[in-house]
Chains A and B, each alone.
Chain A
Amino acid sequence: MENHLKNLRAEKGWSQSDLAEQLDVSRQTVNSLERGKYDPSLPLAFKIARVFALPIEEIFVEEAEDKK
């Protein structure tokens, strides 16, 4: 699943480690999320949304929308 995590993180001026610390995950997990290699669970997706103060759908791109 595609997402805007990398851009959102860059806008905040955070490193992957900074974001990992806030999400309580490893830096490698943040990297996998950003590259779309790993789809987060619903609780983690909500946590990400909370950290960026954005709705989930503004961070993650739906698969169908992705193919358009």
Chain B
Amino acid sequence: MSERIKSAGKRYRLEFGAAMTFYMVVLFGAKFLADGVEPGAWLTTLAIAPVVPIVFACIAFFRYYGSLDERERRLMSDAAALSLVIGIFTALTLGFLKSFGVFHFEWDMLWFGPFLIALWGIVRCALLLKR
């Protein structure tokens, strides 16, 4: 592997790890501070605070993505497109099952992002094995 790609990988792991650590700190800090706070500007600020470290994680990812070679970028974008399609089909299927009363569950959009990311990782591995 080219030295440039190797060092980009190291930088990505460091930046992503730092962003995720920051996320945990902000998430638990915000949860702690939000305890008993009435709805309003302060509670809204606390509720959306964990998004900030996620932005840092996204920046780290896109820096890494930009440093990859063309085949790896192609693999990642193909996996992202496939995951999006599977994610949309999953959301539609669950939506229909719920609206037709086949089964009931609580909507929790918070898990849709992590679900898509996990799916993207699985699809990427599958494409890697295929190619």
- Determine if chain A interacts with chain B: yes
- B71 interface neighbour in A17, A21, A24, A25, Cβ under 8 Å: A25
Provide the bound-state CA to CA distance between A24 and B4, in Å: 7
Interfacial residues of chain A within 1-44, with CB under 8 A of chain B in the complex: 17, 20-21, 23-29, 32-33, 37-38, 40-41, 44
Q: How big is the A interface, by class?
A: 10 to 19
Q: Given known contacts A21-B3, A26-B1, is B70 in contact with A44 (CB within 8 Å)?
A: yes
Number of A-B contacts (CB under 8 A): 40
Provide the bound-state CA to CA distance between A44 and B2, in Å: 14
Q: Is the interface of B mostly helix, strand, loop or mixed?
A: helix
Quick check: B131 and A32 within 8 Å, CB to CB?
A: yes
Quick check: B70 and A37 within 8 Å, CB to CB?
A: no
- B2 interface neighbour in A24, A33, A37, Cβ under 8 Å: A24
B1-16 interface bits toward A, Cβ cutoff 8 Å, 1 = contact, 0 = none = 1111100000000000
Most chain B CB within 10 A, of A17, A26, A27, A33, is at A26
Quick check: A20 and B1 within 8 Å, CB to CB?
A: yes
Chain B residues lying within 8 Å of A38, measured Cβ to Cβ, are 71, 74, 131
Quick check: A37 and B131 within 8 Å, CB to CB?
A: yes
Q: Kindly report which residue of chain A lies nearest to residue B130, judged by CB atoms.
A: A37
Q: Does B108 contact A (CB under 8 A)?
A: no
Residue positions of B touching A, CB distance < 8 A = 1-5, 68-72, 74, 131
- 5 nearest CB pairs, A to B: A25-B69, A29-B71, A26-B1, A24-B2, A38-B71
Residue positions of A touching B, CB distance < 8 A = 17, 20-21, 23-29, 32-33, 37-38, 40-41, 44
